[in-house]
Amino acid sequence: MAFELDELLSYDTYRVVRIKDYRLGLPYYLLLFATFMYIVFGQLIAGSMYLAMETAISGSVRLSMRAPAWNSPIWKSNVAQLPYCQNTCNGDCTGNINQKLLSCPSTYANAESAVYPAPDSNGIFITTRVDEEVQKLPPQCANVDQASQAYGNQCRKWVVTKNSSYYIAQVEDYLVKVDHSMLAPDKRGTRVGFDMADGCLLKNSVERLQNSKSMCLEGSIDPCADYTKNGWTCPTAAGPWSVAVGANKRDDVMMLRTLLAAAGISSLDAIHGARPTATNDMTYRRGGMVLLLQIHYDNTWASKYVFGTDTTKYRYEYSIAYVSNQGYEVTQVLQSASPDQRTVLRRHGIRIVVSQTGHVGEFSFQALLVTCTASLGLMAVATSVVEILLRFVLPEKDKYCKHKFLETETLTDRLLTKPSMKVSLGRLSPLAARRKVSTGPAEDGDGSIYNSEETGAGL
């Protein structure tokens, strides 16, 4: 089959045709305006898409604990006033898991007695209940080295000679200090919580307020609320253990009961489902629990409503939750001076596990360019919608399409119409040779060539 090279290798170019029809112009400009608003306000300003973001946040956290001052009105005058320390076990404080009331130390414990092992970078363990056992080897095993050879496995079995159980009184009123710092490796952003002036403790039920000027405007907990509720004076005077959260140049200090309230725990004496007892009365104080404390950092909050973020301003929030139906226990072995005697402390309590997350960003021209380039592709949506209306919907679609699509004559036909070109018909292609030279294409005023029979009337 014969074909022309001009037809095979034709080239499509653009031509501007102004169609004076408000049914096409109105939706087109409305779509352009909506797209522009989305790019500028939705992507750049509200979405901070001009910032190069980093979420791989690392850092260090140190939790420490301290008992209230000895003369604080928080302390009960007698441990017998505490509902869980009635000392009614009648000398039989064996630590039976079904036993609801236990003895408490005759004097209040200090923080060193409640915290074991030492706090690490992942969190802290706070003892609420202790099961204590005094263990001895059989009498014939006093000399362990010689006895193990003579008696074998008999000297590997410890015999309990005395046991008792007790609670750490008012442990929920102890103070917890959180000392933290963060690092964004790619952004080289290092900040210490001590220098951040915007921070808060959020309630567990409140979602993170990403679109708020301050994360602490709603849903945060006042660290002094428990003091006020009980008529105590909140120790807010400047000092290493003054109660505050988010105060500049001060560490974050709050009562343990404040952290529990943020996690939705109203009291350590509430019942939970970890290791249920025969009477189904296992409490958080007796069985222990696990709290997940998350510290979230953000330096993009100023860009939520104001274009041009000051990324040097950091803020943070604490959000805390508890793991349901899970207790926690740590065993501590105290070896006495005699090798055949030791004391075993089985500590039940609150394990606080800390994690750090965040959104740290800095201005990046590349991020801005990528966002703008990707968003400008949405402009084609407006054009596509109007093109569909023009070609397939409006009653004048046939007329509009004639003005939109024009087709020129081939180069061969143009050469045939020029009298100065000495072209032999025998040298042309069979298809061109059969064309009539006398019926050439029409020209418009600017010299462009098109099929006049396909050109519609003007608009």
pLDDT tens for each residue of 272-320: 765 555 445 688 998 899 999 999 888 876 554 445 556 677 888 898 9
Pick the most confident of 108-112, 200-204, 238-242. 238-242
Cα–Cα distance, 206 to 118 (Å, whole number): 32
pLDDT at 129 over 60: yes
The lowest-confidence range among 133-137, 204-208, 281-285, 403-407 is: 204-208
Distance, in Å, from the CA atom of 278 to the CA atom of 425, rounded to the nearest integer, reads 110
Q: Work out the average pLDDT over 216-224.
A: 77
Q: What is the pLDDT at residue 101?
A: 66
- Position 266 pLDDT exceeds 50: yes
Q: Which of 19-23, 144-148, 235-239, 387-391 has the lowest mean pLDDT?
A: 144-148
Residue 398, domain member (yes or no): no
| 290 & 422 share domain | no
What residue numbers bound the domain in which 425 lies? Answer: 1-18+406-459
pLDDT of residue 10: 82
Tell me: do 288 and 343 sit in the same domain: yes
Residues 351 and 368 in one domain: no
On whether the pTM is more than 0.85, the answer is: no
Tens digits of residue pLDDT in 434-447: 444 444 444 444 44
In contact, 344 and 135? CB cutoff 8 Å: yes
How far is 434 from 170, CA to CA, in rounded Å?
A: 108
Least confident of 1-15, 217-231, 438-452: 438-452
252 or 306, which is more confident? 252
Residue range 162-183: mean pLDDT, rounded: 90
* 447 and 431 assigned to the same domain: yes
On whether both 368 and 443 belong to a single domain, the answer is no
Structural domains of the chain, count:
3
Asked whether residue 126 falls in the same domain as residue 215, the answer is: yes
312 and 384 inside one domain: no
Three-state DSSP at 26 gives helix
Same domain, 116 and 142: yes
Same domain, 431 and 380: no
Pair (114, 222) in one structural domain: yes
Residues 103, 196, single domain; the answer is: yes
- Does the pLDDT at position 431 exceed 50? no
Calculate the alpha carbon distances from 139 to 153, 155, 196, 236, 250 in Å: 14, 9, 61, 57, 57
Residue 428 pLDDT level (bands cut at 50, 70, 90): very low
pLDDT interval class at 64 (50, 70, 90):
very high
What is the separation, in whole angstroms, between the first and last Cα of the chain? 41
Confidence bin at 368 (pLDDT 50/70/90): confident
